[in-house]
Amino acid sequence: MTKAGKTAGPATGRLTVIGLGPGEERFLTGQAQAALAEAEAVYGYIPYLDRVPAREGQTRHPSDNREELVRAGAALAHAAAGARVAMVSGGDPGVFAMAAAVIEAIETGPEEWRALEVEIVPGITAMLAVAAKCGAPLGHDFCAVSLSDNLKPWEVIEQRLRLAAKAGFAMAFYNPVSKARPHQLDTAFDILREELPAEVPVIFGRAVGRPDERIRVVPLANARGHMADMATCVIVGSPETRIVARPGRPALVYTPRRSGDA
């Protein structure tokens, strides 16, 4: 009921959660570009919002890291007031990003937020951009793991790493290191060295799709945490992942489509 005693009607605004891809505008989908052009207001983590060109008449609402639920709530409230709102996210918004935060806010927030039109616009996530740069390391079964223990215990991460290695998955690591967690990637590599062959390829893909892009491939035996930062996505191959050398050209890393005796 409204303050006047009348039942609230359906929400007239909308919220679009948009994946910006890994970097340059060439990775931005046509759907994402159209959604950004239609928005009256854009919300996002500061570095991601900085990648969106300013448009006349469009307001911008930056916020800092670790403020996902506050950011989501502010955008939903704005949309519930009748505005066309965009929430931007790096890569794909559904992969360790803002889509889940928005839906969590809807689940626990005011009933009127459930009546909003909400659209999730996919983007190219970091592990796909890194994989494409060096071949097809995710060519067979794989999993993605965030190494951040802000939202789950480190013991859970360790367990998942061991089980994924035992199951033969290639793995993509998001949030591999930070100033507060400088040791965890090295710990992860130590765990994997107990379960996997020393020669399994490890790919460090930093800032893929941006001018300072850098790709490095080393065997698991030589992988070290200092080779990554928070702009890096790390891909660890499976025991079946191979490196194909090519004279005069970069090697190709791939995981064969067939596994074992298949």
Rounded-to-integer distance, Cα 205 and Cα 156, Å? 25
Task: Please report where in the chains the tokens 């970091």 appear, as a residue.
Answer: 126
> How confident is the model at residue 181, as a pLDDT?
83
> Side chain identity at 177, as an amino acid letter?
V
The pLDDT of 58-85, averaged and rounded, is: 96
Look at residue 190 in the predicted model and tell me its pLDDT: 98
**CB of 186 closer than 8 Å to CB of 147:** no
**Within 10 Å of residue 12's Cβ, how many Cβ atoms?**
14
- Asked if pLDDT for residue 160 goes beyond 80, the answer is yes
Report pLDDT digits (tens) over 182-195: 899 999 999 999 99
State the pLDDT confidence band at 262, using cuts at 50, 70 and 90. low
* Reported confidence tier of residue 11, pLDDT bands at 50, 70, 90: low
Please state, in angstroms and as integers, the Cα–Cα distance from residue 102 to each residue in 50, 71, 242, following that order: 20, 9, 39
Encoded amino acid at 22, one letter:
P
Looking at residue 182, its pLDDT comes to: 84
In sequence order, what are the beta bridge partners of 171? 143, 236
pLDDT of the residue at 213: 92
Rg (CA), the chain: 21
Residues 6 or more apart whose Cβ sits within 8 Å of residue 209: 21, 22, 23, 24, 26, 27, 124, 129
How many Cβ atoms from other residues are within 10 Å of residue 9's Cβ? 9
